[in-house]
Amino acid sequence: MEIVKLVAEIKTKISKFKSEGKTIGFVPTMGALHEGHLSLTDISVQNNDITIVSIFVNPTQFNNPEDLSTYPRTIEEDLEKLSAFKPDLIFIPEVKEIYPEPDSRIFNFGLLDQVMEGKNRPGHFNGVAQVVSRLFDIISPDNAYFGQKDFQQVAVIKQMTKDLKLSVNIVPCPIIREKDGLAMSSRNVLLSEDQRKNACKISETLFKARNLAAKLSVSQLKEWVVEEINKNIYLSVEYFEIVDDTSLEVIKDWNEPNNKVGCITVQVGKTRLIDNITF
């Protein structure tokens, strides 16, 4: 496992791998690694000749400066955790390596960027698309691995890949959860002990909602989820939407023939947590 900080250096290494006909798997992260990130790394290592993990806290995707300044950074522990999975290269660039000039590109993702996280974090997905397209350009991966926890992000990145006619295969990977059901997230370490204890109510409610779907209409179920979570004094629902898993159009009736996913964001003190469940 080798650490690379410079774009020019990683490009040289990648050219060599490509000339040897090796397949490249890529796992982009913002660090503060947990078992969710490690599962993506593991899947990449199993399915590619070479695995590259990037650790880069991308400033352009943070719409809230306090969120950027408090984002956890644990690089030594991250490297220790990664070493057990034997990825080949860890790419840890400085901001000026990725953005030698400011990126002024504006992507148009239509509805994909106008609902849920897109609506509540203006500019967030544009920043994600800026950094992921730059990383794809540097790394030219055959396969890139993304967690389903960030469900909307996967939809946006698939669309970006299509729009830019990139040949990378986007591989969505299952949500890894803590023992009590809470979706793993780098931001979980920002929770107080009480907030952490109560945060499992989010996934608990989503799992119950899946069972209630046969008995309640879509709008009744949405109301139930919001009320149930908001009963807990530590939790405040920002939105809960049930959407088509590809177009992200809001579902009004269970009889609609699409694959449905319920996406939620909950404010826990100052920390926003996201989760989702398929119906």
Ligand X SMILES: CC(C)(CO)[C@@H](O)C(=O)[O-]
Active site positions, annotated? 37
Among the listed residues 7, 263, 277, the one whose alpha carbon sits nearest the alpha carbon of residue 139: 7
Sign of the C-alpha dihedral, residues 102, 60, 104, 167? positive
What's the min distance (Å) between Cβ of 112 and ligand X?
A: 15
Phi, psi (degrees; rounded to nearest 5) at 233: -65, -20
By CB under 6 A, residue 142 contacts ligand X: no
What's the min distance (Å) between Cβ of 107 and ligand ATP?
A: 18
Distance in angstroms (rounded) separating the CA atoms of residues 233 and 229: 9
Residue of 42, 78, 88, 150 that binds ligand BAL (CB under 6 A): 150
What's the min distance (Å) between Cβ of 272 and ligand ATP?
A: 9
Contacts for 269 with CB less than 8 Å, ≥ 6 apart? 191, 192, 195, 234
Residue of 117, 142, 150, 275 that binds ligand X (CB under 6 A): 150
Which listed option, ligand BAL, ligand ATP, ligand X, none, makes contact with residue 26 (CB within 5 to 8 Å by class)? Answer: none
- Consult the annotation and say whether 220 binds a ligand: no
* Nearest-10 Cα torsion for 222, 129, 37, 20: 140
Q: Is residue 261 within 8 Å of residue 151, measured between CB atoms?
A: yes
Which listed option, ligand X, ligand ATP, ligand BAL, none, makes contact with residue 183 (CB within 5 to 8 Å by class)? Answer: ligand ATP
What's the min distance (Å) between Cβ of 217 and ligand ATP?
A: 30
Among the listed residues 251, 58, 114, 271, the one whose alpha carbon sits nearest the alpha carbon of residue 182: 271
Residue ranges for the known binding site are: 30-37, 61, 147-150, 153, 176, 184-187
Residues that bind ligand BAL (CB under 6 A): 61, 150, 153
Residue ranges for the known binding site for beta-alanine are: 61
Residue ranges for the known binding site for (R)-pantoate are: 61, 153
